[in-house]
Amino acid sequence: MAKKKINIALIGSKFMGRTHSNAYLKVNKFFDLPVEPVMHTIAARDPKDLKKFSARWGWENWTTAWKEVCQNPEIDLVDVGTPNHVHAEQAIEALEAGKHVVCEKPLAGTLDDARAMVKAAKKARKCQTFVWYNYRRCPAVALAHQLVKSGKLGRIYHVRAAYLQDWGGPDTPLLWRFQSKFAGSGAHGDLNAHIIDMARFVTGDEISEVVGSIEQTFIKERDLLEEAGGEIRGKGAKRRKTKGKSTVDDAVLFLTRFKGGAVGSFEASRLSTGDKNRNRLEVHGEKGAIRFDFERMNELEWYDATTDGKCQGWTTINVTRGDDGHPYVGSWWPQSHLIGYEHGFINQASDMLKVLGGRKPEVALPDFADAFETQKVLHAAIESARNRCPIKLSQIK
């Protein structure tokens, strides 16, 4: 019996366009799915680049009119992979047209936009929504979630999370990510969003209060992407501007309380010299603890405090053994044959397609309502930094 086809349209053809395209291209080759994904249409702005992108990544059609994609009756799932400031417009258009929607993180550039997206999702009751918090799909993070859920850590005391990169130095030009009108925030929305979601996912608990926060922009001006060359010509001529203002944070650090009583610390920076993509999470409890670092993504560190004290110590689990129950990796390679960054997206594509086919995902998928909880924490941290006060999440609706 032929599987039901899910026609997918993707809006956006840059970094996330590539990762999402690769996921749809590979997912059916490795996972046994209840439905068959079809790469129907890719939409973006530049027709010249788009034609090449479409051919290279396996899309059957391409268009520069994203609204036509949302209204196309052949499309089942719309994937929003664009900059943050247009997430709401594009996702809401697709939901109102009756499409399932998956959106890049953070859910939106602003809390108001995110709220509107949640409202549209509730109204479109037959439509599923998902958000690309892809680090949930790392086998080590999914295993950490399972360990905590099973009670292996007992009562949670402390969460430490940091996402550190060093690519945003003075020589980095004024990309959209450094402009608040497009991105909403800087390292905060880009990086803290991931570790907030991971902390919520792994602990199964929600943040109740941001106790204090620091927001810092170190590099206030950056070179424009296209600088004007040559010299001033003619009397009264003006030299074209070659610098622009960076209007987002370079680093944000904040402290939290969780509803279950744990405390947490979160740190995001694009100026952490020497850290390339150090996405780290620690969870400490009465019975044990876990540590994860994405730069060693195939490993989970585990401490069992219930064993004989003379034998206690950190254990490094190589999370590549599907036969032993490690999440996702049974669909990939033999044990200790490592997986990489792109596999998190492919694993998520498999879970989304399982849900659309009526099956359960490997671990929980974030929908718009779930991602809105992370958005509220992002908002609270900035409000706390700017007003120098604690912010209770119950105050944010």
- pLDDT-derived band at 230, boundaries 50, 70, 90: very low
Q: Locate the domains of the chain by residue range.
A: 4-131, 139-227+236-387
Query: Residue 220: what are its φ and ψ, rounded to 5°?
Result: -85, -25
Contacts of 335 (CB under 8 A, 6+ apart): 318, 320, 321, 322, 323, 329
pLDDT of 287-313, one tens digit each? 999 999 999 999 999 999 999 999 999
> Above 80 in pLDDT, residue 353?
yes
* Contact indicator for 161, 195 with CB cutoff of 8 Å: yes
Report the chain's mean pLDDT, rounded to a whole number.
Answer: 95
pTM for this predicted structure = 0.94
Q: How far apart are the C-alpha atoms of 107 and 23, rounded to whole Å?
A: 20
DSSP class of 126: T
- Mean pLDDT over 117-127 rounds to 97
Nearest partner of 136 among 16, 297, 25, judged by Cα: 297
* Contact indicator for 6, 36 with CB cutoff of 8 Å: yes
- Mean pLDDT over 349-373 rounds to 98
Which string of DSSP letters, residue by residue, matches 192-205? IHHHHHHHHHHH--
Residue-level pLDDT at 229:
33
Amino acid 96 reads: E
- pLDDT-derived band at 2, boundaries 50, 70, 90: confident
Considering the segment(s) 139-227+236-387 as one domain, its CATH architecture is: 2-Layer Sandwich (3.30)
- Its CATH class, for the domain covering 4-131, is alpha beta
Domains 4-131 and 139-227+236-387 alike in fold: no
- Mean pLDDT over 47-69 rounds to 95
* Contact indicator for 3, 35 with CB cutoff of 8 Å: yes
| Cα distance between the two ends of the chain | 47
- Mean pLDDT over 185-213 rounds to 98
Place of tokens 């032993």: 324
* Contact indicator for 245, 259 with CB cutoff of 8 Å: no
pLDDT of 233-252, one tens digit each? 334 444 456 899 999 999 99
Residue-level pLDDT at 233:
34
